[in-house]
């Protein structure tokens, strides 16, 4: 979900996470708020290195994906 920096009429800036369509609706509903153009938020290598997920996360993610794709639990080629 994209992060947008917005500014109130008093100059106070704040960040919101929403889709582009939600942003457009929000700006229409709040005429005293405008979008501020800022540098894009990029995950740096140091963030990725310090927030790395372990192998347990990968296993749990794959198990959930397999169950979602194969809810009957049948086995076969490529299925556990």
What's the pLDDT at 67?
76
d(CA 35, CA 17): 13
What's the pLDDT at 3?
87
What's the pLDDT at 30?
96
Phi-psi region of 14 (alpha: psi -120 to 50; beta: other; left: phi over 0): beta
What's the pLDDT at 66?
76
Domain boundaries, the chain: 3-69
Res 64 pLDDT > 90: no
- For 9-60, the pLDDT digits (tens) are 999 999 999 999 999 999 999 999 999 998 876 666 555 555 566 667 777 7
DSSP letter (8 states) at residue 39: P
């Amino acid at each position: 979900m994209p992060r947008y920096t917005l500014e109130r009429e008093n100059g106070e800036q704040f960040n919101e996470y929403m889709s582009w369509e939600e942003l457009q609706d929000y700006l229409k509903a709040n005429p005293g708020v405008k979008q501020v153009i800022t540098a894009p938020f990029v995950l740096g290598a140091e963030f990725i290195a310090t927030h790395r997920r372990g192998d347990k996360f990968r296993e749990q993610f794959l198990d959930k994906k397999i169950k979602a794709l194969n809810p009957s639990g049948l086995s076969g080629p490529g299925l556990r």
